Amino acid sequence: MTRLNKFLSECGIASRRKSDELIAQGRVSVNGKIITELGFQVDENNDEIKLDGERIRAEKKVYFLLHKPKGTVTTTDDEKGRKTVLQYIRTKEKIFPVGRLDYNTTGLLLLTNDGEFANFIMHPSNKIPREYRVKLSRPLLGEDKTRLEKGIRLDDRKSRFTSIQYMDEKHAKRVKVKTVEGRNHFVKRMFMSLGYIVSDLSRESFGTFVLDIAKPGEYRQISEAEIHNFYKKYKK
């Protein structure tokens, strides 16, 4: 048995919170009966569940890993007519990107139709690590590296990279950084706060998922075993 709001969320109808609103508004029925009880349990395999009179069927959960290229937006559509990340993936399921990467940021991007998975991996309390490859406008000084690892004030709170690794010891313009932060433009703003401009940024990993596709614009489907291993590692 599954809570009705969870079922609606897993079907891609809305978040759990929004699903509760739909239920409270009397728009959801189970086996012909309007349900307004927020904790109502359903048998997703046998119950007939409808929203506004239209039957809802459980979607097959799918997960994709895309090597996002530059010049694409991380949205399902774009009012300016720019190319979106969805245009690279062939699937019949209605998927969406997990989080965002900036227009010219490249690297690992996850896409799915599993709202529960997306909420879990993005929720700040779960502290899912991300690793980025960064090119800076000038060499990163040792004292600034230490400051960024120990923590600086950003958005009026202490913020830090969990680690910074030099990729180019000679010039120190290229670094790899790890963080559990998912705030908008976090990597760029951290460096900018100390006077560095990020000229190139690529996400190399997110949790247990690693950018293992060399060519930008290509993708692969993530297996159920990979999803299981992810939850096994991070779910408390």
**Active site annotation includes 52:** no
Q: What's the DSSP call for residue 80?
A: T
Alpha-carbon distance of 196 to 106, in angstroms, equals 19
Task: Please report where in the chains the tokens 């969320």 appear, as a residue.
Answer: 9
Residue 153, CA atoms < 13 Å, CB-side half-sphere: 1
Selecting among 20, 47, 78, 102, the annotated active-site residue is 102
The Cα-based distances of 228 to 94, 133, 208 in angstroms read: 22, 27, 10
Q: Are 176 and 132 in contact (CB under 8 A)?
A: yes
Give the helix, strand, coil percentages of the chain, each rounded to 5.
25, 30, 45
Categorise residue 21: left if φ over 0, alpha if ψ from -120 to 50, beta otherwise: alpha
Residue 227 contacts residue 148 (beta carbons within 8 Å): no
Rounded distance, CA 212 to CA 3, Å?
Answer: 36
Q: Would you please indicate which residues are annotated as catalytic (active-site) residues? A: 102
